Amino acid sequence: MNFTNLRGILTYVPEFREKIFVIAIDGAVVAHENFANLALDLAVLRSLNVRVIVVHGIGLQVRELAQERSIPLSSSDGTGPTDTATLKVCQAASCQVAQQILATFSSADLRAALPNALVVHPFGIVGGVNHLLTGRIERVDTAFLHDLLDRGILPVISPIGSDREGNLFRVNSDAVAVAVAEAVGAVKLIYLSAEIDYAKEADLARQLSVSEAEAFLQRHAATSSALLLSKLSHSIAACRGGVPRIHLLDIRIDDALLSELFSQVGVGTMVYSEGYESIRKAQKKDVRSILQLIAQSVDAAELLPRTRQSILARLNDYYVLEIDRAVVGCVALHRFPESSQAEVACLSVARVYENQGLGRKLVQFAQSVAREEGIRQLFALSARTYNFFTQKAGFREGTPDDLPAARRLLYEQSGRRSKVLLKQLF
C-alpha cells in the first residue's frame, strides 16, 4: 500500500465510523482460497470502527453434501419447498460453513458469535405450493445484534432459523441479509459471491439506480443466471427498504472488498437509492479532482489545460457530479450576460464512468441552470468531441460569428479552430 492509497482510505474513515455494514457471503465464498484474506479485510474494517455483521449462505455445501449422501434436494437455495431430508442436509451444511467461518475469523483475530437472532415462521402455501420447512423472517432481534456489536463481537448469521417453539426452517441467505440490513439500519449491504462473473454480464453497469436495476431485471430475466437475478432482486428490495447502497462483489478478485469500499473507482457493481448521485456547485476542495478529470482529456487534446488558479478564479462557474462522495464528472458554465449567452465548458467524465449517461446529465444540468437564469443561448467549443454535442446533447453547428465578442477574440487567439456548437434555449 502506498501513502496515496492510505490517504484515500483515511478520507472514508469518519464517514464509515460506527456505521453498520452487512456482509453477505455465499457458501462458495467460504470455500474459496481468498476467504482468509476477506477475514483480514473484515479485521481492517473492525479496526476502523465499522460495525460488521456477516450473513452466510450454504448453497455450494448443500449441493455437495446432497450429492455425497445421494439425497435429492427439494430446493437447494431456500426459495422453493424444503422437505425434511433437505432441511437435514441444510443443517449439516450450515454447521460446516459456520465452523469454517469462526475458525477463519479466529485466525484473523476477529471475535465472532452465532446468535439466535432471527424469528422465522413458515413461508406457507404460496401459489398453491406448500413450502414446508422453508421459512420467512418474521423478526430480527436487533437489540441482541447491537449488544454483540457494542462488545466488539461480530455476529455471524446462518440461513437456518427457528420459531418461538424451536422448529427449524431454511431461509434464503440473500433474503436474510436484506432483513438484517433493514432491521439494523445498515448503511451498506455487500453481497460477495464466487460464482457470478459480473464483468462478463453484458449491459450490467458498474452503478445502477434502483430503477435501472429493475429495468435490467426485466430485460434479462430469461437470460441471466439465477444467482445474479437473486442478488439484484434482493438489492432492489434492500434499497426500497432503506439501505442506501448495495455492492455486488466477486471474491475471486483479490482485495475486492477493500478496493470497492476505499477507492473511487471500485471493482464491483453497486445498486443505490435514487438521490445518491448528485450534481452540485464546485467547492475549493474539489479543484484537485477537477484538475485530475481535465488532465485525462488534455492528454487526448479534448480539453484545454487549466490551472488551479484559473479554476479558483471562476469557481462559481464549475459544477461537479458526485457518486458515492467521489467527484467523477465536471462541467463549467461561463456566462456572457451582454449577449445572454453561456459557454458549456470543461465537460469531463472519469473514463471508468463513461457511457452511463453522466455526460448528458451534466450538459442537461448546465442547460437547466442557464434556463433558470434566463440565458438565451448555450454554446460550446470543441475540437474533438463536437459529435457528442450534436448527436447526444441537441446542439447544432454554428460559426465563430455566433460567439460573444470577448469570447471570439480568445477563440481567434487560441488558434485551435474548434467547432462552434450552439443550442437555443429561448
Ligand X SMILES: CC(C)(COP(=O)(O)OP(=O)(O)OC[C@H]1O[C@@H](n2cnc3c(N)ncnc32)[C@H](O)[C@@H]1OP(=O)(O)O)[C@@H](O)C(=O)NCCC(=O)NCCS
Stretch that binds ligand X, among 78-86, 127-135, 185-193, 378-386 (CB under 6 A): 378-386
Residue 235 identity (one-letter amino acid): S
- State which of residues 4, 47, 309, 391 lies at the interface with ligand X (CB under 6 A): 391
Residue whose CB is less far from ligand X, 262 or 388: 388
Q: Give the Cα-Cα-Cα angle 405, 407, 413 (nearest 5 degrees).
A: 105
Stretch that binds ligand X, among 40-48, 144-152, 332-340, 354-362 (CB under 6 A): 354-362
- State which of residues 115, 122, 244, 357 lies at the interface with ligand X (CB under 6 A): 357
Sign of the C-alpha dihedral computed for residues 191, 194, 195 and 197 taken in this order = positive
# binding residues, ligand X (CB under 6 A): 21
Q: What is the footprint of ligand X within residues 269-298 (CB under 6 A)?
A: 297
- Strand runs labelled E in 243-297: 245-250, 269-272, 277-281
Our finding on whether 202 is near ligand X (CB under 6 A) is: no
Stretch that binds ligand X, among 125-133, 258-266, 350-358, 370-378 (CB under 6 A): 350-358
Residue whose CB is less far from ligand X, 16 or 353: 353
Our finding on whether 354 is near ligand X (CB under 6 A) is: yes
Instruction: Quote the least distance from Cβ 200 to ligand X, whole Å.
Output: 19
Our finding on whether 400 is near ligand X (CB under 6 A) is: no
Q: Count the Cβ atoms, other than its own, within 10 Å of residue 284.
A: 10
Question: Can you list the pairs that 162-165 forms with residues at least 24 positions away whose Cβ atoms lie under 8 Å?
Answer: 162/116, 162/118, 162/119, 162/120, 163/119, 163/120, 163/121, 163/122, 163/135, 163/138, 164/119
Residue whose CB is less far from ligand X, 23 or 363: 363
Helices 226-240 and 173-184: angle between axes, nearest 10 degrees: 20
What is the DSSP code (8-state) at residue 132?
B
CA gap 210, 228 in Å, rounded: 15
Instruction: Quote the least distance from Cβ 192 to ligand X, whole Å.
Output: 29
- State which of residues 183, 208, 347, 378 lies at the interface with ligand X (CB under 6 A): 347
Our finding on whether 365 is near ligand X (CB under 6 A) is: no
Our finding on whether 414 is near ligand X (CB under 6 A) is: no
Which residue is nearest to ligand X, using beta carbons? Answer: 359
What is the DSSP code (8-state) at residue 418?
P
Pairing type for strands 112-113 and 154-157 reads parallel
Instruction: Quote the least distance from Cβ 360 to ligand X, whole Å.
Output: 3
- State which of residues 358, 366, 378, 422 lies at the interface with ligand X (CB under 6 A): 358
- Closest-CA residue to 101 (of 26, 12, 191): 26
Stretch that binds ligand X, among 40-48, 211-219, 252-260, 356-364 (CB under 6 A): 356-364
Instruction: Quote the least distance from Cβ 349 to ligand X, whole Å.
Output: 4
Grid coordinates in use for 393? 446533447
Our finding on whether 203 is near ligand X (CB under 6 A) is: no
Radius of gyration for the alpha carbons in the chain, expressed in angstroms and rounded: 26
Our finding on whether 303 is near ligand X (CB under 6 A) is: yes
Residue whose CB is less far from ligand X, 203 or 412: 203
Stretch that binds ligand X, among 91-99, 198-206, 383-391, 406-414 (CB under 6 A): 383-391
DSSP sequence for 263-275: SSS-SSEEEE-TT
Our finding on whether 382 is near ligand X (CB under 6 A) is: yes
> Which strand ranges, in their side-by-side order, compose the sheet holding 377-382?
277-281, 318-323, 326-336, 341-349, 377-382, 419-424, 396-397
Q: What is the footprint of ligand X within residues 76-135 (CB under 6 A)?
A: none
Our finding on whether 404 is near ligand X (CB under 6 A) is: no
- State which of residues 172, 230, 348, 377 lies at the interface with ligand X (CB under 6 A): 348
Residue whose CB is less far from ligand X, 334 or 360: 360
CA gap 256, 253 in Å, rounded: 5
Residue the block writes with cell 427449524? 168
Residue the block writes with cell 441552470? 369
Per CB under 6 A, residues contacting ligand X are 297, 302-303, 347-349, 354-360, 380, 382, 384-385, 387-388, 391-392
